[in-house]
Amino acid sequence: MTSSPPTLMWFRRDLRLADNPALAAAFAEGGPVIPVYIRETGTQSGRASGGASKWWLDKSLKSLAADIKSRGGSLVLRSGDTASCLDALIEETGAKTVFWNRRYDAEGRHIDMEIKSGLKEKGLTAKSFNGSLLTEPWQIKTNSDGHYKVFTPYWKRVRAEYTPPDKTHPPQAFAAKELASEPIGNWKLHPEAPDWSTGFDKIWSPGEAGAKQRLETFLSQGLHGYGEDRNRPDIETGTSGLSPHLAHGEISPVTIWRTVRKAMDGGQKDLSEDSAWTFLSEIVWREFSHVLLYHYPDLATANYNRDFEHMPWRDAPEDYRRWCRGETGYPIVDAGMRQLWQTGWMHNRVRMIVASFLTKHLLLPWQLGEAWFWDTLVDADPAANAASWQWTAGSGADAAPYFRVFNPITQGQKFDASGEYVRKWCPELHELPLKVLHEPWS
């Protein structure tokens, strides 16, 4: 029996046991560890998750709860005002310590700061850790002590200097402690009226085991050809599909970095080094988005480049509706928007095409697209979504300039050269010959 008091492990977007710094530190305290997830619904709550993210959360929490149960413990689910939920749990358990991994969106950071100082005032220990990034967004500085605003030099620094910390192993056993926990079914995490998530199960396996499996499959089938295939929406193994797992913290980017570097250092015969570095650079795009979000907290709503405040966007609700529904008449755009609706995910190349179409053809504000993606992506991420939308619209850091328009016809012909992607998602075009598939009106 241990005499150390319990520690609360407050899970958020870090729904895993392996390589979880806050969890490892909680176990290192020596006392029982009480795992808890709080659905923030009170006055203290950040941006509400979108429908597809909530679908994922439902499955991911069930998977985490099962993993904890298999180690003798029980994941406690509570909802309400975050600070009040933590206070109640401290009262019920006698915990003296609360640990969590950091988040970087403005609302989340504000909540966490208040909670940390409130706990400290009560004489408790509250500590946060980096559980979702390779490096903290404030860590890598330019020579003039600022943060990076351009990706390539940032990437070069990470590539040259980053060394992952040692692996932390999943805990063997949680203490058996029965506390009141809300049934997850009461949280109604599936979309309603309509429930468009019914097909997601066929594609995704949310949870830590699913994330591990995706990484293994990608290493054996996709990584070698990533340099070439990553722009091909018609190739299923062209990219990793790890984004929703990363967005919910079911796998750490540190684990991914370590695993890929090991494969490069001889673990995997004939691996293309260029492909592997290109893949790691995408992981670092994710980091770079967090740098931007950290330094520009209103990145999801306000133009990073304030000149765009004067952009005369159109007000055209019917055009927006048709874009959302994949009814624009441009095959590659419609295919992408339907893939998003039916699977909760869209290929990166097609994301750029549909985002360019919304902002540069339809001249609709990027914030409308950001909001639709936020609701419908299983990988909706406050940093990557906002930064990528601003990048495509031209208002972002290191962005595609306003005059760079993705031509939906030539992009389709180049990146869906076989036409398989469009044929899959736009079955009404199935019979068209390839020559006209990407411009059917011709």
Active site residues: 282, 285, 313, 348, 366, 389
Is the CB of residue 29 less than 8 Å from the CB of residue 170? no
Is residue 286 at the binding interface for ligand FAD, with CB under 6 A as the rule?
A: yes
Shortest distance, position 391 Cβ to ligand FAD, whole Å: 7
Question: Site for ligand FAD (CB under 6 A): how many residues?
Answer: 27
Comparing CB distances to ligand FAD, the nearer of 191 and 241 is: 241
**CB closer to ligand FAD, 74 vs 392:** 392
Q: How far is the CB of 417 from ligand FAD (least distance, A)?
A: 19
| Candidate list 388, 406, 416, 423; residue touching ligand FAD; CB under 6 A | 388
Contact string (CB under 6 A) for ligand FAD, positions 355-384, x = contact: x-----------------x---x-xxx--x
Two structure tokens written together for 193: 């009226």
Instruction: Record the tokens describing residue 22, joined without a space.
Output: 């806050």
The smaller minimum CB distance to ligand FAD, of residues 334 and 379, is found at: 379
**Smallest distance from the beta carbon of 136 to ligand FAD, in angstroms?**
17
Q: Which residue has the tokens 């206070």?
A: 87
Considering the complex, state which of residue 174 and residue 391 has its C-beta at the smaller distance from ligand FAD: 391
Shortest gap between Cβ of 279 and ligand FAD (angstroms)? 6
Residue 117's CB is within 10 A of a number of other CB atoms, namely: 11
192-231 residues near ligand FAD, rule: CB under 6 A: 230
Min dist CB 342 to ligand FAD, Å, is 16
Site string for ligand FAD, 238-267 (x = CB under 6 A): -xxxxx--xx--------------------
> In this complex, which beta carbon is closest to ligand FAD, that of residue 58 or of residue 287?
287
* Residue closer to ligand FAD (CB basis): 77 or 352: 352
346: nearest Cα among 311, 301, 392, 303? 392
Q: Closest separation between CB of residue 164 and ligand FAD, Å?
A: 16
Task: Pick the stretch among 112-120, 172-180, 234-242, 432-440 that binds ligand FAD (CB under 6 A).
Answer: 234-242
CA distance 289 to 396: 10
Nearer of residues 73 and 210 to ligand FAD, judged by Cβ: 210
* Residue 134 interacting with ligand FAD (CB under 6 A): no
Peptide bond into 401 cis (omega under 30): no
Q: Which residues, numbered 318-357, are part of the site for ligand FAD (CB under 6 A)?
A: 348, 351-352, 355
Give the angle subtended at the CA of 383 by the CAs of 381 and 384, to the nearest 5°: 70
State the nearest-atom distance from the C-beta of 436 to ligand FAD, in Å: 27
Q: Is 299 in the site for ligand FAD (CB under 6 A)?
A: no
Tell me the C-alpha distance between 75 and 332, whole Å: 43
What's the CA gap between 356 and 144, in Å, rounded? 34
Q: Which is nearer to ligand FAD, 100 or 373 (CB)?
A: 373
CB of 230 vs ligand FAD, minimal distance in Å: 5
Residues 266-285 that bind ligand FAD (CB under 6 A): 282-283, 285
Burial class (CB in 10 A: 0-12, 13-18, 19+), 295: middle
Residues that bind ligand FAD (CB under 6 A): 230, 239-243, 246-247, 282-283, 285-286, 289, 348, 351-352, 355, 373, 377, 379-381, 384-385, 388-389, 392
